[in-house]
Every structure is written in C-alpha cells, then in structure tokens.
Amino acid sequence: MSARIEPGAGPTGRHAGGMFAATAMHRDSNGNALHAPVLVLNASYEPINVCAARRALVLVLKGVAMTEEENGHFLHAARIAMRVPSVIRLLEYRRIPHQSRALSRKNILLRDRNTCQYCATVLPSGELTLDHVIPRSRGGSSTWENLVACCHPCNRRKGNQFPPEAGMKLMREPRAFNLHTSRHIMRLMGRSDDKWRKYLFY
C-alpha cells in the first residue's frame, strides 16, 4: 500500500475510519502536505497546539478529533482519499495544565519546580518565598517575568538589589506559563493561513 498527496480533486473518504491504516502514511515519501502545520483546537474551540498534518490525520482517524478546516490537499491510500486538515478540533475537552493558570504564589512555585532560582536548592513550598527579580522598590512589577521562587537566605542576600549587584544570577529567564507564548507562535504561523485566523484572532 502506498500513500501520496495530491492537490485538487479526488473522491473523498471522510468516513474511511479505521480501515485507513496510519502505516500507509508513514510510507509516504513525497508528501510535503503531511508535514504542513495543522492548528489543533480544544473541544471549546480554544487553540491549544500546532501539529503536523500527519499527526492530525491520525487523530481524526482515531476519532479523537474532527476536521474543522481542510487545506485543499488529498491524501490517497489504497482506494481511499482523505482531505488533509488545516484545523482540527478535539472531540473531548482536554484540560491544558498550566496554560491558563493565574499568576499566584502557588503557580510560580510550580513553574519553578520549588527550586530557588538563584542557588538551585529544592525546598518545600513553605520554605520558599517569591523574589521580585527587579525589586519592587525599583519599579519591578508582580508579573510572571519578574517573580521567581527563592529561598530565604538568597532573598535576604539579594535585598533591594538587582541580581548582578548582589553577585547573583538567575538559573533561567522567568517566563509566563505558556499560553501567551504559544498563542504568539501560533499567530505567527497562522499569518499565512487564512483558515486559522478566525480561531486565533479573537
């Protein structure tokens, strides 16, 4: 069995179901369309991810997701042709950990895995505090990007200084949990695909 991608017409096989083996797709050798990015929506239509068309087709065939938008290509395998999706939507709502979580002490500690971001000591939540990287007294705000988990000794040592002033260095740049970042990436990618727009720009 071989699979190939062709633009344009062909019989549709939207109800092909499980007969259409995923192995057929793995043998495809020239299917760039199978690598095309597909926007993945939660059951609630909230964009949550981008995956390759190949993966999206598997999710549709397994009955995990349904096609919301097509990209105009067909995947042919055996006697079945299937439209390649551009946007799919999960049929069951999937809770996305972290992404929509509010800024809170608990979530900062979760993001930083209860690890002091200056000395790398792992401590129970009760023994950690939150440090403003840019001190509040010097204009630092309480944001994902300016708050890190910190042990009490490091917090005392840092005081009202910027990290370099105290001879300290962050283990890594603090970032928000991913909702914002991933939306931004999806927007950049979706800029070329009109079919994504209505799901990304709202």
The residue ranges that bind Zn ion (CB under 5 A) are 116, 118-119, 151, 154
Polymer length of the chain:
202
Q: Which is nearer to Zn ion, 60 or 154 (CB)?
A: 154
CA distance 94 to 92: 6
Q: How far is the CB of 5 from Zn ion (least distance, A)?
A: 54
The alpha carbon of 123 is separated from its chain's Cα centroid by a whole number of angstroms, namely 28
Indicate the residue among 91 and 119 with the shorter CB distance to Zn ion: 119
Structure tokens at 182: 């991933």
The minimum distance between CB 135 and Zn ion, in angstroms, equals 16
Closest approach, Cβ 171 to Zn ion, in A, equals 10
Query: Smallest distance from the beta carbon of 118 to Zn ion, in angstroms?
Result: 5
Q: What single-letter amino acid sits at 200? A: L
3-class secondary structure, 68: strand
Nearer to Zn ion, 8 or 124 (CB): 124
Instruction: Give the nearer residue to Zn ion in terms of CB position, either 39 or 151.
Output: 151
Where would I find the beta strands (DSSP E) of 3-140?
Answer: 3-7, 37-41, 47-52, 65-77, 80-90, 128-132
Closest residue by Cα to residue 47 from 68, 62, 61, 74: 68
Q: Which is nearer to Zn ion, 48 or 116 (CB)?
A: 116
Least Å from the CB of residue 121 to Zn ion: 5
Dihedral of the CA atoms 136, 139, 145, 150 (nearest 10)? -20
Give 98's DSSP letter. T
**Least separation in angstroms between CB 106 and Zn ion:** 19
Q: Which is nearer to Zn ion, 114 or 146 (CB)?
A: 114
Residue 195, CA distances (Å) to 59, 68, 144, 190, 199 in order: 19, 9, 32, 8, 8
